């Protein structure tokens, strides 16, 4: 998707200049729970989307809250605990951008407090949490949108329409990958020089996770550890599965099998740096997912949707490749008796499908390429969340969609750990026991 994702952060004034105009008293009051690097991107995007004001922030590292207030304005109060944000009646909604192991507790607490929620992917830390969250949001009538922004891009929405319209024919295989080859791509992030037990609230970070001794590596590089993250599957594959479900109008794979290894980034880490998975969908197509943090050639990711009448590729651009295959049985029928070969070529159906060079000259559809321009699709995604809050009409990526995308990642990780095929139980909407 757009390459501006890592470089988007700009001043609040520049963002506000491009935002739609809303009356001050019509702005959604938002509290931000978790102010890490991705959260700062989301705050900038939210300001550009317009119609919201960030009035409270909380993070376990003091420096992040300091920078958040600097970024969004002094109206944003620093809180000592996320429950202070939930108890504030002036706050309409919350963005939850905490480590994955906190998502269930924070989302359920926010719903119980009457807040609408934007939860950064993955929605869940374990598949069993999904149905509980879906039911809670439905019972409370709260808007819950998950932050996997690709499906809000014009490219993915166009792909969805092309597939629905039959442009690709029957889609039978999807190949999708995320590859990186840097320390930061492998989540080995730099640690702020002032980070220490005085500036980092270790107990707040650990929360429901297994208790460990104080560790700046675990705090700032939490995606590297199973205590807080599902690694590649829940950080990257979840994006790919969200797109697949969106463009294919699919719910969940019936089966998943995967293998993962740690080949290179072996220090301070217990999640694989290379992962491969195969998913099988009851709608009649299969998916190959792959990722490595050890090679990055021309692009960070690739996405191929292969159909009987053509193929789509998604990335920096959307491209359609019409299928050019045609039957050619000459080498087969030339081994037949001559009389049978001659009779074969006289058949009108054979001449139509195989003797292309005998057809009247005509134009055939060629490659179509479309490039997305404009601001990052996360702005559109967040604008959709604000619109849902106002209209009370759920966004496509609601709790159920978020549950299913995350559950795909959990199926992959469970297969890696167990060494077996993992199946989905559509009746109970969870991974099948066994």
CATH assignment at residue 49: 3.40.50.720
pLDDT at 299 (0 to 100): 55
Helix (H) or strand (E) run with residue 310 in it:
strand 310-314
| Residue 37 belongs to some domain of the structure | yes
| Residue 166 belongs to some domain of the structure | no
Torsion angle (degrees, nearest 10) of CA 256, 261, 262, 264: -120
Domain that holds residue 53: 3-152+376-399
* CA separation, residue 205 to residues 80, 107, 108, 116 (Å): 12, 16, 18, 23
| Residue 146 belongs to some domain of the structure | yes
pLDDT at 6 (0 to 100): 41
pLDDT at 12 (0 to 100): 34
Read off the pLDDT of residues 105-144 as tens digits, 9 standing for 90 and up: 999 999 999 999 999 999 999 999 999 999 999 999 999 9
Give the mean pLDDT of the chain.
Answer: 91
| Residue 327 belongs to some domain of the structure | no
| Residue 38 belongs to some domain of the structure | yes
| Residue 173 belongs to some domain of the structure | no
- Residue 10: which pLDDT band, with cuts at 50, 70 and 90? very low
Read off the pLDDT of residues 332-364 as tens digits, 9 standing for 90 and up: 999 999 999 999 999 988 988 888 777 777 667
| Residue 72 belongs to some domain of the structure | yes
Contact predicate 83/75, CB 8 Å: no
What six digits make up the tokens of 249? 């109008």
| Residue 241 belongs to some domain of the structure | no
Give dist(CA 142, CA 123) in Å, integer: 15
Helix (H) or strand (E) run with residue 132 in it:
helix 128-140
pLDDT at 300 (0 to 100): 54
The total of structural domains in the chain comes to 1
């Amino acid at each position: 998707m757009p390459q501006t994702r890592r470089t988007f952060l700009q001043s609040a004034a520049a963002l506000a200049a491009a935002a739609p105009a809303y009356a001050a008293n019509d702005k959604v009051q938002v509290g931000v729970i978790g102010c890490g690097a991705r959260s700062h991107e989301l705050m900038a995007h939210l300001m550009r989307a317009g119609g919201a004001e960030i009035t409270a922030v909380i993070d376990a590292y003091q420096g992040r809250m300091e920078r958040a207030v600097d970024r969004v304005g002094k109206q944003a109060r620093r809180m000592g605990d996320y429950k202070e944000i939930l108890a504030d009646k002036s706050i309409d909604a919350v963005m939850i951008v905490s480590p994955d192991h906190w998502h269930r507790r924070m989302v359920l607490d926010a719903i119980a407090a009457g807040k609408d929620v934007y939860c950064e992917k993955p929605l869940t830390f374990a598949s069993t949490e999904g149905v509980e969250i879906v039911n809670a949001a439905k019972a409370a009538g709260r808007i819950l949108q998950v932050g996997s922004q690709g499906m809000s891009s014009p490219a993915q929405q166009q792909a969805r329409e092309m597939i629905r319209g039959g442009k690709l024919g029957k889609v039978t295989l999807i190949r999708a990958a995320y590859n990186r080859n840097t320390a930061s791509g492998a989540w080995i992030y730099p640690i702020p020089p002032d980070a220490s037990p005085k500036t980092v609230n270790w107990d707040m970070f650990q929360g429901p996770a297994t208790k460990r001794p104080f560790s700046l590596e675990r705090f700032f590089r939490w995606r590297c550890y199973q205590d807080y993250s599902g690694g590649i599957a829940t950080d990257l594959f979840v994006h790919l599965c969200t797109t697949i479900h969106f463009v294919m109008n699919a719910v969940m794979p019936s089966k998943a099998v995967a293998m993962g290894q740690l080949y290179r980034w072996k220090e301070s880490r217990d999640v694989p740096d290379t992962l491969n998975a195969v998913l099988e969908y009851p709608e009649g197509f299969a998916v190959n997912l792959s990722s490595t943090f050890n090679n990055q050639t021309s692009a960070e990711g690739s996405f191929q949707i292969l159909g009987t009448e053509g193929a789509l590729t998604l990335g920096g651009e959307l491209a359609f490749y019409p299928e050019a295959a045609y039957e050619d049985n000459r080498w087969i029928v030339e081994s037949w008796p001559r009389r049978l070969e001659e009779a074969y070529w006289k058949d009108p159906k054979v001449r139509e499908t195989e003797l292309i060079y005998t057809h009247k000259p005509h134009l055939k559809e060629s490659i179509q390429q479309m490039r997305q321009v404009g601001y990052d699709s996360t702005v559109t995604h967040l604008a959709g969340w604000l619109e849902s809050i106002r209209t009370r009409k759920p966004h496509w990526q609601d709790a159920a969609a978020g549950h299913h995308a995350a559950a795909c990642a959990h199926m992959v990780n469970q297969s890696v750990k167990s060494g077996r095929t993992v199946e989905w139980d559509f009746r109970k909407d969870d991974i099948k026991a066994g």
